[in-house]
Amino acid sequence: MNKDIITVTSPLLPDLNDFHAELQKIWDSKWITNNGAYHKKLEGALAEYLGVPYVSLFTNGTLPLITALQALRITGEVITTPYSFVATTHALWWNGIKPVFVDIDPATGNIDPDKVEAAITPKTTAIMPVHVYGKPCDTQRIQEIADRYGLKVIYDAAHAFGVKVNGESILNAGDMSTLSFHATKVYNTIEGGAMIMHDEKIKQRIDYLKNFGFANETTIMGPGINSKMDEVRAAYGLLTLKQVDSAIEARHQVAVAYRNALREVEGITFFDDMPGVTHNYSYFPIFVDTKKYGMSRDELYFHMKSQNVYGRRYFYPLISEFSTYRGLESAKPENLPKAHQMANSVICLPMHHALTENDIQRTIECIIK
């Protein structure tokens, strides 16, 4: 048996010769950061590709979350999900905001709007949902709740690059959305991220905040931070943007192969595509029912690992289980039964555009056998 390691994800890489040529241009220009030509070009290209009015680039995917909260002057309590990467809640903590966890909808893994409304208090100022695995939240319901109670909505859309509902980008929902361009994402700039906003004045404020608050050489508009994307990664991003559609289609074919092979395996379930949604196939999570499958999730996970097939228990444990947050009233397990069930049963299978038929078959055989 081929014992090559199959990992859960791999980066989308541009042609090395093309990247070298762009690096030479940057070197010759002697402008390697601070809103240079590549930075401006990538913001424009992404806005066009994603179908959004304004994009502001960042050096990673966490800082746009932190900055969005600053820009909207969010305080008090923010309702969010425990089923996400920990950066979602860390962004609240770094802003001195109390996270309030609510349970999820098991049909999507996303925050349950009914639970959101029930958790609102006089201290609530915003909702921070996550488009988990790139599956869109119920943005209409969430916006209705936000409007009813006068709340802001910031979407953590780290997984949702290019996702659309009935032809409309889900990044246009809420007050702001943030993206991650980490190397594990379907589109990447090695490290990087972006914020999507709908107003030119907000875009300008964000651009000030991510550059120490500078409006010009001598004017500081507010206490900003340094979170700009440099020219090298912007150039890399422009090159990978040319390939992202073919990468998404390759991932789609991997998802089709997994579904066809695993649909009749007792005790193994997964998400199907949502009607009307343009998916990006960022992840392929399966869920293990121990009684029906005859093996626990962790037993299967470590069996796969022994065969050099590296999935990921993503997201496990829940954010609410980490020491920083587990003392919160909203973090009690009895408040989050569906999130705990999903976290304790999930394995994300290897999912990337470079998987071979042999790689896919080895992964499937680990589960079926």
Burial per residue of 244-259, b for 16 or more beta-carbon CB atoms within 10 angstroms, e otherwise: beebbebbeebbebbe
Name the domain boundary from 215, 241, 267. Answer: 241
Would you state the pLDDT for residue 1?
44
One digit per residue, pLDDT tens: the chain, 369 residues? 456 888 888 778 888 899 999 999 999 999 999 999 999 999 999 999 999 999 999 999 999 999 999 999 999 999 999 999 999 999 999 999 999 999 999 999 999 999 999 999 999 999 999 999 999 999 999 999 999 999 999 999 999 999 999 999 999 999 999 999 999 999 999 999 999 999 999 999 999 999 999 999 999 999 999 999 999 999 999 999 999 999 999 999 999 999 999 999 999 999 999 999 999 999 999 999 999 999 999 999 999 999 999 999 999 999 999 999 999 999 999 999 999 999 999 999 999 999 999 999 999 999 998
Would you state the pLDDT for residue 5?
83
Asked if the structure places residue 2 within a domain, the reply is no
Tokens for 97, please give them: 């905001």
Would you state the pLDDT for residue 15?
87
Q: Do residues 194 and 216 both lie within one domain?
A: yes
Q: Residue 251 maps to which CATH number?
A: 3.90.1150.10
Q: Do residues 228 and 286 both lie within one domain?
A: no
Asked if the structure places residue 3 within a domain, the reply is no
Q: Do residues 99 and 29 both lie within one domain?
A: yes
Q: Do residues 225 and 279 both lie within one domain?
A: no
Q: Do residues 223 and 333 both lie within one domain?
A: no
How many domains are contained in the chain? 2
Write out the residue range of the structural domain in which residue 285 sits. 244-368
Strand partners, 348: 285, 312
CB 152 within 8 A of CB 125: yes
Name the domain boundary from 241, 261, 294. Answer: 241
Q: Do residues 268 and 324 both lie within one domain?
A: yes
Q: Do residues 134 and 270 both lie within one domain?
A: no
Q: Do residues 268 and 363 both lie within one domain?
A: yes
Nearest one of 280, 289, 284 to 261, comparing CA atoms: 284
Q: Do residues 101 and 48 both lie within one domain?
A: yes
Give burial (CB, 10 Å; 0-12/13-18/19+) of 16.
exposed
